[in-house]
Homo-oligomer: A and B are copies of this chain.
Amino acid sequence: MIRLSVRDPEFAARFDTLVNARREADANVSFDVLAILSRVRAEGDTALRDYTQAFDGHDLEASGWRIDTAECRAALEGLAPDLRRALELAAERITAYHEKQRPADRDEVDATGVRIGARWRPVEAAGLYVPGGRAAYPSSLLMNAIPAKVAGVERLAMVTPTPRGEVNPLVLAAAALVGIEEIWRVGGAQAIGALAYGTRRIAPVDVIVGPGNAWVAEAKRQLYGVVGIDMVAGPSEILVVADADNDPDWIAADLLSQAEHDPTSQSILFTDDAAFADAVAAAVDRQIATLATGATARASWDANGAIILVERLIDAAPLIDRLAPEHLELAVTDPEPLFAAVRHAGSIFLGRHTPEAIGDYLGGPNHVLPTGRRARFSSGLSVLDFMKRTSFLGCSAPSLEKLGPAAVALAEAEGLPAHARSVALRLGQ
């Protein structure tokens, strides 16, 4: 953890270093991924079977290519009642929030008499990657699948590795709750390749979403354009702005809720009170000792944690914008001034009673958010990621009379005579 103060003579340089630090491993996986994708494209299911044997240690012909929906329903039935209710509440709230994201169509006639508009339609098929092992979260399945369902996507194909055949019952329960019926026991770059190119067994999809390791992320990046993808995801981040009126333990827990994800995660506190900063730092150390995820949290906090002292909390706004954090928590009595002043953040949590974890599970907004300063230009996952817009235009003969001559002039100036002719002929020229 580093501590900075805007009063430090070298604050600007040290803050620059923090902003520009790259926490993403420079995993040199692009050649491996290229080879895997080429082989999946050429050999299809044979390649999937071989890679699954090699990486996940089971034979798909023996263990079964798909996970049966009956197995998912059984997992849902087998959940403890409070957990099932929690999952259902999450699904309801996420659905309600995303339903209001459905875009409106436009269909107008303008003053020139031209019919003009745009309409949105869902993609036909979406692929959903769900990691195996530690990072397999049912909440993540809900956050990725529900926007696709709300968009109206007809086919949702889930892929997930089952190392040595193991599955995660919580994830299967979430799949049953959302109504996913097509689940393939394949993972890694090979699963992404299968979804993008299609194989004999697995029909291709139009959009691929969902978190994964470096191979999965690189496969999505390489296939961007062949299919739509959600985004390039990096390690998660939280930035908490807190005054001295907070309980240091609450704020420490908030910082640790990101730190416990991964050693590359980042937690940053902005405060205007040095004693409060000390108290939070002490609380972090105290809490880590009692966390089952303490080793990960410790590694993250030591390597990437930061506490930054500012004169007044509002002064943090331009610094926050440079960091463009994935999650921004405004733990103050009146968050409005900072809320209005900050421009770049993936999601903002307002006030002392909105820990970021509420948003991870069941606030409603999506928890798939831009990381690594990408909130400067990108947004969280939404219904729009599963839809596309078709614009349209309809001229009558009279409205074409009005617009046509300008189009002819521009086409001729650009040296495109067939463009000009296609209009001129209709003008009787």
Contact = CB atoms under 8 A, between A and B. Distances in A.
A355 interface: yes
A250 B392 contact: no
A83 interface: yes
B116 A393 contact: no
Contacts of A349: 392-394
A391 B328 CA distance: 10
Contacts of A259: 418
Contact of A206 (B207, B347, B377): B377
A70 interface: no
A203 interface: no
A150 interface: no
Interface string A400-429: 100111110111011111111111011000
Given A138-B414, A257-B419, A410-B83, A375 B388 contact: yes
A292 interface: yes
A228 to B, nearest CB: 4
Interface string A107-118: 000100011101
A420 to B, nearest CB: 7
Contacts of A339: 392
A42 interface: no
Interface in A118-139: 118, 121, 123-124, 134, 137-139
A358 interface: yes
A346 interface: yes
Contact of A360 (B335, B360, B366, B419): B419
Interface stretch (A7-15, A89-97, A178-186): A89-97
A351 B394 contact: yes
B415 A250 contact: no
A208 to B, nearest CB: 10
Contacts of A404: 358
B377 A123 contact: yes
A356 interface: yes
Contact of A361 (B221, B232, B362, B407): B407
A363 to B, nearest CB: 4
A379 B375 contact: no
Size bracket of the A interface: 35 or more
Nearest to A359: B393
Nearest to A384: B384
B409 A364 contact: no
A385 B77 CA distance: 43
A378 B347 CA distance: 24
A82 interface: yes
A202 to B, nearest CB: 17
A101 B20 CA distance: 34
Contact of A257 (B115, B170, B416): B416
A326 B139 CA distance: 37
Interface in A328-377: 335, 339, 343-366, 369-370, 374-377
Interface of A: 82-83, 85-87, 89-90, 96-97, 100, 106, 110, 114-116, 118, 121, 123-124, 134, 137-139, 170, 206-207, 221, 224-225, 227-228, 231-232, 247, 249-250, 253-254, 256-257, 259-261, 287, 291-293, 297, 335, 339, 343-366, 369-370, 374-380, 382, 384, 388-397, 399-400, 403-407, 409-411, 413-423, 425-426
Pairs A-B, 5 closest by C-beta atoms: A350-B394, A225-B232, A365-B391, A86-B406, A256-B418
9 contacts: A83-B410, A85-B406, A115-B350, A134-B415, A170-B413, A207-B377, A293-B418, A358-B393, A358-B400
